Amino acid sequence: MPHVMISSKKCTGCHMCELACSAQHEGAYRPSVARLFSECNPTTAAIKGHTCLQTGCSKCQEACPHDAIVTKEITVKVKGEFAGKEKIGGDTVRGYVLVVVDDLCTNCGECYDVCPTGVIHEHPDREVAFKCDLCDGEPQCIAFCQNPHVLAVDLKVDKKDKELAQA
Amino acid sequence: MDFYKGKVLRIDLSAGTSAVELLNMEWAEKYIGGKGLLLRYMWDEVPPQVDPWAPENPVILMSGPFAGTNVSTTSRLVVGCKSPATGILNDSYVGGSFAPEMKFAGYDAIIIQGESPEPVVVTIRDDVVEFVPAKPKYWGLKTSQIEEAMRRDFDADAKTLSIGPGGENEVLWACLSTDQYHKAGRGGHGALWGRKKLKAIAVRGTGSVEIGDARAFLADMYRIHSEFVLTEDNLWANEEGTPVLAQVMSDAGVMPTRNWSTGTFDLVENINSDAFVRVRTKNRACYQCAIACRQFHEVDGIVGEGPEYETIALCGANCGIGDMAALVRFNHECDELGIDTISSGSVVGLAMDLTEKGVKDFGLHFGEAEGYVQAPSLITDREGIGADLALGARALAAKYGHPELAMEVKNMELPGYDPRGSFGMSLGYATSDRGGCHMRTYPIADEIVAGALPPDSLEGKAMKVVWGNPAEGMIGENFSAVKFAGIWCDFWAVTPEQIAQIFKHAWKREFTEDEVFQIGERIWNLGRLFNLREGVEPDDLPQKLYAEEGAHTTGASAGRAIGTETFKQALQEFYQIRGWDESGVPSEAKLAEIGVDVRL
């Protein structure tokens, strides 16, 4: 039951996750519209990851006056020899993800203001919100955090997801 | 076209204007990008025989086609100019995140020409280019401070390429800095920026790099990373990084010690990889690099990246400094002032030598931290002994009547490999297209690291210097030229076959390994023509590094000498393999064969 987290301790600041994310969603490399980002200070080397906590947070969904952010069932497959599997107990995990329904979104901006990690925005080319959808179950950010000594971008499971699954 | 933005930003500092031009795609097809495309632009943009300090001498920033994609290590930027230090071409490479950001802003290259009447900072946000006065706020700032100021005043996500006080004061080995610890270190681009009164270029890009079928490319890059990048052959850089070379080179008698008076450093265990691993705090990566080789350390309250091997060799062993705290402080000073550590360590070691030989007392002594740690700021300000040291190794040694003590080639101070312990390096230094440099060919890999070829023979080495020995990971000049067109970093030991696989994505056609090598040969010959046009010194290196009487008397390489005749013969063999005449001029037949499109 999945969301992506970036470990500030492990992350090296290579931004491969942002690049892969944008290529997957935008069809071109464009990290300024990546669905997650790693904030790096080059001088101090301090790093802070920003990712969507999905149903573990849900603030965007609660704030949306048009019910344009919906809970969708998803099965996440973790790609790669090293990533994720130990933590989620296997190659795949089922759960829920929050997705924007473009037709319902009016770009009112309520969700932009409440997101605690700053990962839901207005799309620069389309007047709708965009956010992480776990790549429909094959998160490219995790796949491209490939260095076995690093593995900073990883899948996490949260309590709310578990409750939802049991309900 | 996919991968390229197809645009060049031309900045005229004299007029305070900018213009956008189309990238010459005919040249890009022949010379790829990076080093190759840079040299082709330099051929047209640098007026023949121009005074390097003149406003007409441009500085060109060139990216590679894969900057801003998932191709590991190819985020590098190359900076080119006719060097004020050497008078020939200089291509200096820097990692970090500047080149990808430049591409996201919409430009493959930036050509900087002219000279600003007043100190200036140029900011670029996508297609908006602004000239901001650098005084009083920015001029004089150290490298970390100017980057911080750009993030504060211009854009929180700005990537900045800047000079420190070293560049402002036109020190001949002043760097360009980005992400603070990344330096386009060699050749004095920083000095030229100082002359042009350009403090910094800060860029923010929100656009994209198009690649055609993105999901297919992602899938192939995932495979390539698993199979070729994140392998044992490359991960040494993540685990230990270049400090791992310190013990190896000292043991082989290759580490320049006490101004190149021996090749083995008795105090190496204080500054080798084991010593640095104990004070390591974290690893960081350049943009789009899965390897993450940048090692951060904390010593005596100084937190920062490095030192890398070249700094350990030149600023450590070459100055007799086996004191990690002093070495880290020296490195930190150089980083903040924006001056190259190789040249700084070389010059300080030379001044120590002149002092100890009783020629001139600079108050600097081998192994003494006092005086040594102040040297970078004295050089930068040309204050006290700094005025002499800022002359550079060649002019300093000549001034005090001992030219034989300056360890440089074509007025660029030599890096951390003594050819008396690895003979192939002698040809590498002599024939490097930018003067004393270890990055054009690296026979050390064959002779010391892999042990595949004897280090104390030049037999067959000319061929290796030209073509390399990919099976043993040894890079030859032709291959380094195409690799730096990519622009791949040396820490992915990429092969011609892997390059061909990735090129295929950009040009939508098959590439053969032969073709990859030929592009490299084309680029190398273009560089040679440029240097001949501008007037290059004969290919040589300090005589004691090959003459019989120059052999070391101590250390692991003691008693070994190439021999003057053997060296001269090997150089002629090199010219023959290259299809150049006995003075190193490429033949018409060779130029036609490999498709070089310019002539002297």
Alpha helices in B420-512 (DSSP H): 424-431, 444, 461-467, 477-486, 496-507
Least trusted range by pLDDT, from B83-92, B400-409, B499-508: B499-508
Backbone angles phi, psi at B456, to 5 degrees: -110, 35
- Residue A63: what pLDDT? 98
- Sign, CA torsion A129/A133/A135/A140: positive
All residues of chain A having their beta carbon less than 8 Å from the beta carbon of residue B288 are: 14-16, 19
Q: Does B467 touch chain A (CB under 8 A)?
A: no
Residue A79 with chain B: CB contacts under 8 Å: 222
What's the pLDDT band for A157 if we cut at 50, 70, 90? Answer: confident
**Per-residue pLDDT reduced to its tens digit, B418-461:** 999 999 999 999 999 999 999 999 999 999 998 889 999 999 99
- Banded pLDDT at A81 (limits 50, 70, 90): low
Neighbours of B597 (CB within 10 A): 13
| CB within 8 Å: B292 and A12 | yes
Write out pLDDT tens, residues B211-220.
Answer: 999 999 999 9
Q: Which of B2, B147, B209, B232 to mutate to test binding with chain A, by most A CBs within 10 Å of its CB?
A: B209
What is the CATH number assigned to the segment(s) B424-594?
Answer: 1.10.599.10
Contacts of A143 in chain B (CB under 8 A): 222
Of A42, A79, A150, the CB nearest to B179: A42
Residue B586 has a pLDDT of: 98
Statement: residue B54 has pLDDT above 90? yes
Going across the sheet that includes B17-22, the strands are B17-22, B7-12, B109-113, B59-62, B77-82, B89-94
The verdict on a CB contact (< 8 Å) between B289 and A14 is: yes
Q: Is the CATH number of domain A2-166 3.40.50.880?
A: no
Domain ranges of chain A: 2-166
Question: What's the pLDDT band for B589 if we cut at 50, 70, 90?
Answer: very high
Is the pLDDT confidence value at A156 over 90?
no
Domain spans in chain B, listed from the N-terminal domain onward: 7-204, 238-413, 424-594
Strand runs (DSSP E) across B189-314, as ranges? 198-204, 209-210, 280-284, 294-299, 302-305
CATH number, domain B7-204 = 3.60.9.10
ipTM: 0.95
Q: What mean pLDDT value characterizes chain B? A: 97
Residue B578 is which amino acid? R
Banded pLDDT at A161 (limits 50, 70, 90): low
Q: Using one digit for the tens of pLDDT, what is the confidence trace for B251-294?
A: 999 999 999 999 999 999 999 999 999 999 999 999 999 999 99
Q: What CA–CA distance (Å, rounded) separates B171 from B148?
A: 23
User: What sign has the CA pseudo-torsion B194, B197, B200, B204?
Assistant: negative
Would you call B208 and A22 a contact, using CB atoms and an 8 Å cutoff?
yes
Note which residues in 256-285 of chain B have CB less than 8 A from chain A. 281-285
Residues of A in contact with B290 (CB under 8 A): 14, 16, 144, 146-147, 150
Chain A CB contacts of B208 below 8 Å: 22, 26, 28-30
Report the residue from A32, A43, A146 with minimal CB separation from B144: A43
Q: Which class does domain B238-413 fall in?
A: mainly alpha
